[in-house]
Homo-oligomer: A and B are copies of this chain.
């Protein structure tokens, strides 16, 4: 059905003011955080699950593609209407419905901002650990759809570990509930965790049951500097050997540090000659934290750290974290175009990944700053290019494929956090076999026989 004919039907479901077709809106809701995508044909903003189901049923009945959208902060285009159609923005469904202290859970609508959820539960002594860098902008529904990670994943796990259940609207319009308020449930298939990370291609998530844990009472934050990347990586192994699981174990290479230093206009953020730093945080009860901070320092020293700092108060802690938080923005100052890849390898193979990047850097003459979550083996590899240098862009694309193939050869994965969306879809077959892709497509068809929900994502289009 032409979108023009669908609009009055959509208006009946959500109200006329919640169906928008002006060009600004259609463009704004058509792109991801990297401004890639295409304009939506229409943007609707339902108020509740019943309205979402009504919109979905209309689109499905009339063969119009539709795409759920949270805050639009994704890096691989999961929420963009690649084939046009209706964007279902969940922005009005942004309530924390319930924080249930006795049962250590919260029930929320999908468009609660993750940082707001964290603040709300922390105010009653509870904790929602997943902390994607975008937590002040991204919505919990998007975090669920992408299975967001963040620095705390090494100790606490990713979004997946904190989702007890979901309410969702199937592409065919039925409202289903998976899991719920219990922490154990083995009744039928675990559709909850199939939906987590499914990038908005299997159902529209309308309600989320979030598991919470007690808030760790204190933490200690340390920064260790190293004169070689090898030493920094060895420190990670030394920490693991001492059986400590830090709440954060962030790796930042010299090239990333330089970018931050230039951006913040400070001479240097670490001792002269620093090739990499680790930003470390341990949390728990006061005694346990002292014990673990000691072991972490010991491990860094054993690996040859040139300097080990420990924050003495919250201000110093924020200062240490600042360099990590400023990386993304600082890299943007170097050049507005970067191919940011969230590579992940078994953590013991980080040295191989770093060596791979070095070889690529040289062979393709590219700047490739790296940083990320060393405890998870999850390193953000940023290929920096000048938007107007066609040759460099070509070299970057060639390098991408070599990088992905190399990571898979290291028993790694081409995406640890951002998902496939449309931007990595052409590379899916590097990691998955034809049988595995065929199986996933059959699962997709079990949910969405007509393929109208979020088309063009995950699977390469022929």
Inside 8 A of A403's CB, which chain B residues have their CB? none
CB-contact partner of A287 in B154, B288, B412, under 8 A: B288
Q: Does A196 contact B (CB under 8 A)?
A: yes
Q: Decide if B347 touches A102 in the complex (CB within 8 Å).
A: yes
Identical chains in the assembly: 2
Task: Tell me which of A105, A186, A189, A291 has the highest count of chain B C-beta atoms within 10 A of its own C-beta.
Answer: A186
Instruction: Report A377 CB to chain B, min CB distance, Å.
Output: 6
B-facing mask of A91-133, CB < 8 A → 1, else 0?
0000000001111110000000000000000000100000000
CB distance from A177 to the nearest CB of B (A): 7
Q: Which residues of A from 42 to 98 have beta carbons under 8 Å from B?
A: none
Report yes or no: B376 in contact with A181, Cβ–Cβ below 8 A: no
Q: Which residues of B have CB within 8 Å of A102?
A: 237, 240, 346-348
The listed residue (B149, B184, B439) touching A413 by CB distance below 8 A is B184
Known A147-B190, A446-B439; contact A348-B100, beta-carbon cutoff 8 A: yes
A183 B446 Cβ-Cβ under 8 A: no
* Contacting residues, chain B, for A428 (C-beta < 8 A): 187-188
User: With A and B bound together, what is the CA distance between A196 and B188 in angstroms?
Assistant: 11
- A175 CB, min distance to chain B CBs, angstroms: 8
Q: Within 8 Å CB of A100, what residues of B?
A: 346, 348
Determine the distance from Cα of A215 to Cα of B182 in the docked complex, in whole angstroms.
27
Instruction: Indicate whether A330 reaches chain B with its CB closer than 8 angstroms.
Output: no
CA distance A350 to B381 in the complex (A): 49
From residue A105, how far is it (CB to closest CB) to chain B in Å?
Answer: 7
In the complex, whether A435 has a CB less than 8 A from a CB of chain B is yes
Which parts of A414-446 form the interface with B (CB within 8 Å)?
414-420, 424, 428, 431-433, 435-437, 439-440, 442-446
The CA of A412 and the CA of B417, in the complex, are separated in Å by 32
Q: Indicate whether A181 sits within 8 Å of B411 (C-beta atoms), given known contacts A147-B190, A240-B102.
A: yes
**Contact, CB under 8 Å: B291 / A193:** no
For the complex formed, measure the closest distance between the CB of A193 and the CB atoms of chain B, giving whole angstroms. 4
Interface centre among A157, A244, A287, A414, by most chain B C-beta atoms within 10 angstroms, is A287
Q: Does A402 contact B (CB under 8 A)?
A: no
Q: Does A268 contact B (CB under 8 A)?
A: no
- Give min CB distance, A159 to chain B, whole Å: 10
Closest residue of B by beta carbon distance from A424: B187
Q: Answer whether residue A329 sits at the interface, using C-beta atoms and an 8 A cutoff.
A: no
Q: Which residue of B has the minimal Cβ distance to A213?
A: B245
B residues near A197, Cβ cutoff 8 Å: 186, 189-190
Question: 27 A–B contact pairs at CB < 8 A?
Answer: A100-B348, A102-B237, A102-B240, A103-B348, A103-B377, A104-B240, A146-B186, A149-B184, A170-B435, A170-B439, A174-B435, A176-B436, A180-B411, A182-B345, A184-B376, A187-B420, A188-B420, A188-B440, A189-B440, A190-B198, A191-B440, A214-B243, A288-B288, A439-B446, A439-B447, A443-B446, A446-B446
| Chain A residues with a Cβ under 8 A of chain B | 100-105, 125, 146-147, 149, 153-154, 157-158, 160-161, 170, 174-178, 180-191, 193-194, 196-198, 202, 213-215, 237, 240-241, 243-245, 284-285, 287-288, 290-292, 344-349, 376-378, 411-420, 424, 428, 431-433, 435-437, 439-440, 442-447, 458
Closest 4 CB pairs of A and B: A287-B287, A214-B243, A102-B348, A184-B416
8 extra interface residue pairs, beta carbon distance < 8 Å, beyond A146-B186, A287-B290 = A176-B433, A186-B417, A188-B420, A188-B428, A189-B197, A191-B436, A191-B443, A439-B446
